[in-house]
Amino acid sequence: MSKISEGPVKGLHHITLVTSSERVNRRFYTEVMGLRRVKLSVNQDDIFHRHLFYGDENGTSGSVITFFEWPHLPSGQVGLGSPHHLAYGVKNLEALHKWATWLRMNGLRVSGPHRVGDRASIYFRDPDGFLLELATSIDGDIDEVALREMFSEEVEVEGITQDMRLSVMDHASPLATNPALLEQFLSKTLGLKRLAKRENPHDSQAVILGFGSEDHDFLRYILKPSIRVGFVGTGSIHHIAVKVESDEDQKKIMKTLDSIGIRHSGIIDRFWFKSLYFRDPFGNLLEVATAGPGYAVDEPPEALGTRLILPPWLEPERKRIEEALRLLDEQFPAKWPPIYRPAPEKPEKVE
């Protein structure tokens, strides 16, 4: 991968999905995935439903996965506008092996290890059916047969040890049909360059194009000439947020969008960061979010995520909001442990 000059986008900021149950979701992402809840709030555009944030211990941007709780929605469908999967990075093969064991111990139906490009990966579905990947960089000479042999040996795992801890996400994979249009769009709007083009070992008609800054291709679009239109529902990605360091960089991107006639949301103050939303030409919802001020702006770092936090302009509504959330929990009882759906045998295949 070639080094390129610095653009305004510095990696992923957060990725937002839809869940059907806060209680199941919280147990999965904290107890099984070992993340920390770093904010418990409400959807600012739909204030009587929760917005849940999980990340590493410090809520580092790029580690944060968030969920809108919409229990009444049907399951989403992967396709154009509804991204395929996301991957967290893990330290090394040993940690990946431990993860496969740990997840199976917890009743998940894991697919892998697989080799996709320069990564070894395992895949599994969360309680809402969303496809997650854990990935680690590997040397050129380890093939899938060698990986499988390695993983067939038993490894002792009693819990999530320090070497297994998840932090920054490795990549998100939306879908697209036209490589030239995609490349032009991402370069023009976000200054992202195509860093890699890979075969998709799970789908001979598809390729994987990696876009990013410096040497990390954190957006790994899967391209295929013909892909069905997807829709967002439970167990699917709602939007993918990339990070800019400053308000100025965000404004610059907005001006570019205006100059080329791309509709956008305008800049919205989300209190923990500022957001700007627009869609790529294939219907995927993207967000440009500022790195600061961060999740510790309204609660001390040690107490992150422990109580319902509302931005100041929603505080007057607290009573009504809490009552609505209580009713929602009553209406949609949670079941733990969930029944996990298996991950596909060829996880990066586009159906």
Q: How far apart are CA 243 and CA 83, in angstroms?
A: 18
179 vs 201, beta carbon nearer Fe ion: 201
Q: Which amino acid is at 143?
A: D
Does position 16 interact with Fe ion (CB under 5 A)? The reply is yes
Does position 41 interact with Fe ion (CB under 5 A)? The reply is no
C-beta of residue 210 within 8 angstroms of C-beta of residue 198: yes
Sole window of 96-104, 133-141, 175-183, 300-308 interacting with Fe ion (rule: CB under 5 A): 133-141
Does position 284 interact with Fe ion (CB under 5 A)? The reply is no
84 vs 338, beta carbon nearer Fe ion: 84
Question: What's the closest the beta carbon of residue 128 comes to Fe ion, in angstroms?
Answer: 18
Does position 287 interact with Fe ion (CB under 5 A)? The reply is yes
Out of 134, 223, 241, 253, name the contact with Fe ion by CB under 5 A. 241
Question: What's the closest the beta carbon of residue 271 comes to Fe ion, in angstroms?
Answer: 12
Sole window of 184-192, 234-242, 252-260, 317-325 interacting with Fe ion (rule: CB under 5 A): 234-242
- Three-state helix/strand/coil letters over 241-305: EEEECCHHHHHHHHHHHHHHCCCEEEEEECCCCEEEEEECCCCCEEEEEECCCCHHHCCCHHHCC
Q: x-or-dash pattern for Fe ion, window 78-97, by CB under 5 A?
A: ---------x----------
C-beta of residue 176 within 8 angstroms of C-beta of residue 192: no
Site residues for Fe ion, window 139-158 (CB under 5 A)? none
Does position 321 interact with Fe ion (CB under 5 A)? The reply is no
Binding footprint of Fe ion on the chain (CB under 5 A): 16, 87, 133, 241, 287
